[in-house]
Amino acid sequence: MSSPTASTSSARQIENLIARYSHLVDEGDFATFGALFENADFVSGEVSLRGGKAIEELIGSMLVVHDDGTLRTRHITTNILIEVDEDDDSAEARSYYNILQAVPGLLPLQMVAGGRYHDRFERRDGTWSFARREVTIDFTGDTRYHLKAPQDA
């Protein structure tokens, strides 16, 4: 994976971080996923964690990994609004997400959850990273093959 270059705009680098989150969780790569939050907070409902290892452990304890090593999901992030403060090396983003899932022979393709992300980012040594992600769940569907223990929205 190449590093962002100086010619890549801050907003584009942040958008890449948002996309990387989705790819890593869908692929079941919880260690690299957790590393996105090495110096960050992750908040969802009553859960509030700090640091990559804690977040990696939480995600690993919650989500079903299927025989192919993935979650059989696609996290689709849309309507991304990014506001960058170049002087302060900080940014905020708001977006919507929908989680699609299909499990052959068990679950036809459908949306299993949807909601909103509210993110804060900081730039250190020229590199953007998550400072905080707040996840709000607005909708849930059939999560039997997504969550190890179904949870109320």
Using DSSP's 3-state secondary structure scheme, residue 62 falls into helix
Judged on CB neighbours under 10 Å (0-12, 13-18, 19+), 149 is exposed
- Write out pLDDT tens, residues 56-69: 999 999 999 999 99
pLDDT at 47 over 90: yes
Mean pLDDT taken over the chain: 93
Average pLDDT over residues 93-118: 98
Domains along the sequence of the chain with CATH? 10-140 (3.10.450.50)
* Average pLDDT score over residue span 24-46: 96
Q: How confident is the model at residue 45 (pLDDT cuts 50, 70, 90)?
A: very high
d(CA 140, CA 57): 23
**pLDDT of amino acid 149:** 74
Does residue 75 contact residue 26 with C-beta atoms inside 8 Å?
yes
Q: Which of 117, 113, 88 has the alpha carbon at shortest distance from 15?
A: 117
Q: Looking at residue 8, what is its pLDDT?
A: 64
pLDDT of residue 7: 45
pLDDT tens per residue, range 138-150: 999 999 999 997 5
How are beta strands 41-44 and 127-140 bridged, if at all?
parallel
